[in-house]
Structure 1
Amino acid sequence: MIVDRKLIEKAKEKLGNQNAFIMAELLELEDFDEKNLKSCCPYHDEDTPSFIYNPKNYSMHCFSCNKTVDIIDVLMGKGRTFLESVQFLFDKAGIECSFGEQNVKTKHNYRYPHEEPINDKPNVVDYFGKRGISKNVLDYLDVREDNHGNAVFNFYDTNDVLTMVKYRPSHTVEKHSGQPKTWCQKDSDTAPLLFNMNRVNTSKPLLCTEGEIDCASAIEAGYLNTVSVPLGAGNLHWIEENWDWLDTFDDIIIWSDNDVAGEKMRKECIYRLGTWRTKYIVTPEYYEKEDGRKIPLKDINDCLQIGGKQFVMDLISAAKDVPVKSVVDYSEIEELDVSQMDGVQTGIKPLDNELGKLFYGTLTILSGRPGSGKTSLIDQAIAMTIDNGSPTFLYSKELPERLSANWFNTIIAGRRNMVEKHNSSGKKYYVVPYDTQKKMQQYYNKKLFIYKDEESNDFEAVLKSAEECVRKFGCKLIVLDNLMMLDLKCNESDKNTAQTNLINLLIKFAVKFNVTVVLIAHPRKTQDSNSDIEMYDIAGSSNIINLAMRSIGLRRVSKKEKEDPKYKWHKYDVVLTVMKDRMFGKSDVQIGLWYDLVSRRFYTDYAEYDKQFAWDDNYYIDKLEYVDRGRVDPEDEFPDK
């Protein structure tokens, strides 16, 4: 259940200065000055009143320790959840609101966890105490102890329903001990909720940490509006799961660990949660003691134990804005190491060896004459991207969504998962069995997002949809098939300018969200169908090629060329040309490809011919019959759009 922030502000506004009196009563401020609405701060020791009510935002602020709280903060500090606190506020202000979903299990067919009993948790208190975390904070976070002395972390949803339970030993786990550091409750499901999200004030900046101990450390230091990711830095499914809730925050601070995984998490969160509202904290490499000793730091808990509470709060206060994208300080530019750059692989070894990857933050143009295999090449890249853990967005208006799905099914099925059929005239064809399709759909659920047939072709609408999929679902490959189908909202005379503007938008989109964008653009119809695709054969503005990082062309090898043994590519079905590669400064690099009519796959060796994609968990002993595909029978039609 998500409560409208405007309604919360309306309740505070209706109470007016009464907010101050309610907070004073809740905080038991004995020296509260009812005329000037101030008192000594209850969050630290002082003799002169510096805890003063601000009528503009209905909060109390301490000008000594910089603590700011509203009614909801005070109530949550007393042990209430966010929903319980809002309900109290609304009751006081006379605001009507239904809390019907509170404590209601809303996930269908979900195996909710059982609750571990509340006890004194001596092992947990002892272990966390050694790490600088008090029993008060453990109680606040509802951290418990199971029968084996392990720490129990309870994850509640926004309805205050226990939805996931996670455990960790109440002792240090050595790296090579073989003992797991954390695990989830057996026989219950694991929705990727954020730890402590039901005790967070949505009107305040949210601090997002990498683990439960880091979350507890920030709260121990005094920053209550803190959550932690549920399943490690590399698992970002929590963004999708909690998207609507995250969208209510004006400001989000990311503080991940000081390692490679933490840095990757931080960068991805910034792209997906929005650079305009996301700040970040980089854990200092070390803390310098008064005696000059430098103690290495890795995470928030290190900062708490070594530097203390104020050190942690100072780092949070100094959270950095994402730098202005339009400029960069020359001194901060690091030498480019292509081997460290991430991106998308096509699954075609010679092409991947040539290009490395279709790098994130870049635009690639793919062109090819009708029947050259553009759809197959793209679908293989999509399957590889998903296999490597990243969802994909596909706009394909030349093929209806059902045919796009059918083509993709054939690619990922391969010969092993297809059956031969015959039509009424006896001609054979191949299909993916129904049960196999269902298995594929289950695996690729929320991994491939195809733009709906009935949706607008307006390029702005398409890019808006792509952005939503990137931010909410983490799509890393954006495929637009094709340029001619996009409505650029221009006259014919202005088409070249509009296309140039679109290319610039796509490049900006790729950089902003750190994704790979592939735009399919057809060649000019006047070109000889048997000639290679060259840079300026692409229909439309010359800037389509000029501005893109890379441009790739496909063409079929003709029957005449196959019959000529002197022709360089006579053994192949298709010639792929890397027309331009700005990354490595290459052009006109050519690669010969074979094509399997049954699976619709390109391949250059047996491994690619019999590629087993991740959905297929069968173990195969026997190899497929492998035939040299140097020639395609003249009577066979080369299938494509």
Structure 2
Amino acid sequence: MDLLAQTRAIDIIRLVADLGYVLQENRKIICPFHAEKTPSLVVYPQTNSYHCFGCGRHGDVIHFYAGVANLEYTGAMHELAFNYLPDYKPELYKRGHLKKIQAAGPVKPEKMALPSDTNAYVYKPLHSAIYEDFQRVCETQPAGPVHEDARKYLTERGFSESTLRRFRILTVNDYQTAQAHLRRTYNLLDLQECGLFNEKGNLIFYRHPIVIPYFRKGRIVFLQGRVIGQPTETVSRYQFLSGVPVELFNADVMDVLKTGRTLYVTEGAFDCMTLMQEGMPAVSLGSATMFKREWMKLFRRFEICFYFDNDAAGQKAARDYSELFSHYRISTHVKMVKAGYKDVNDYFSKRE
């Protein structure tokens, strides 16, 4: 991916917060490009863009920063890359012309960690309230056939009831009721922006009633659905939030794990849950292809063990990530799933 594409992918919500602007209802802020008292600039996380309904200014994340910092587009791109992209080389631009991003708004923001800081990456929960309301609805629905089928399936996967409670695994027992509650409570645009609803206005977990919440600092920051049992040819095994970047699964374990301890990194959330059930601290990437480099600093305190699926893709990913992590001087090793088993969960649930 070239520098322009990488920079355009920098989270505009995070940039807005880092610059000191207060994100208000419906993702609005006071527009920095014209005088106003009522917020009229809307930020769109799905497209990583903005539009002001007061003055008409609009564009991508680079346009936004260029306007705030009074820079040309190219200069803004390099300054954003300098602040947010770990692999950016400052010598690519004019030496001495790149500055650390400072709050431009009148309100001093909560400290946010940039990739160039020594602090760890901080997630600012934008949609947690909606995710948690969805969780509450699922947990208060009467248990029915879907719940029973899901619990039977999860038990067959080797999970104890205490593990399922620990990770707050949900089931959408009554799809229509859950969908109606969310549509009645929230603006459809917000439901689509947070990834719970698709472009047709429907809750995405229709065929994926097992829902795995991703927590950070005790707040839900992401959701992942799964079919019960084996998927069909027309239905995928997993359903991730629509258009929303994945977060690390079980990242809170990194806050309590002592420096120097081994931290296992798995592909799937179920593999991570299995290792945690076995007393082995672990996090999950969600998929072998979903790693974000801004997570890198989170791993620096630990000895990293990649424990990926027993297939060509998993083995290649383990080699690639080992090389990447070594570039950041993070110690790693790879543990292979024993022959005859497809992944971590399969091995631990079927071993004799």
- More strand as a share of residues: 1
TM-score (norm 2): 0.48
Q: Which has the larger radius of gyration?
A: 1
TM-score (norm 1): 0.27
